[in-house]
Amino acid sequence: MEKQFNRVSPDCIDRLDDNEIFVFGSNLAGAHGGGAAALAYSKFKAEWGVGVGRTGRCYAIPTMHGGVAEIKPFVDQFIDYARKNPDLKFLVTRVGCGIAGFTDEEIAPLFKACVPMVNVYLPLNFWKVI
């Protein structure tokens, strides 16, 4: 596990390098009004009305529509996208752990398949749970 700790996404992301993608928790409507979604919209060109997938310099994972079981398919979709785009570096925020109200212990296991993926950076709290 120690090796993965060099793939920790920063707590505060205020800029992106050319190949970096900001991964944030969204809602299905793509109304990016608060939390990391608002930052994605105001700073990293996430499109209003796009609540799932790649948008601007971002990737949206909806977390406001149900429980962990309803979020999992969207995390799996993200993981598939990250696998198919190894040239991009994905900086995952604490998806679902802010306004959506989930805990790291609930959400982090959804990202377990990212452990061997060198292009996915997870929050330290997620690494500790995984």
**Does residue 52 belong to any structural domain of this protein?**
yes
The amino acid present at 82, given as its one-letter code, is: A
Please classify residue 31 by burial: count the beta carbons closer than 10 Å to its beta carbon, then call 0-12 exposed, 13-18 middle and 19+ buried. Answer: middle
**Does residue 13 belong to any structural domain of this protein?**
no
Query: Could you read off the pLDDT of 43-77 as tens digits, one per residue?
Result: 999 999 999 999 999 999 999 999 999 999 999 99
Average pLDDT over every residue of 18-39: 95
Query: Could you read off the pLDDT of 70-98 as tens digits, one per residue?
Result: 999 999 999 999 999 999 999 999 999 99
Locate 84 and state its tokens. 């198919």
Q: How many domains does the chain have?
A: 1
Instruction: Give the per-residue pLDDT at 6.
Output: 81
**Does residue 12 belong to any structural domain of this protein?**
no
Domain of 24, in residue numbers: 19-129
Q: What angle do CA 120, 29, 126 make, to 5 degrees?
A: 25
**Does residue 8 belong to any structural domain of this protein?**
no
Residue 39 belongs to a domain with what CATH number?
A: 3.40.220.10
Instruction: Give the per-residue pLDDT at 4.
Output: 60
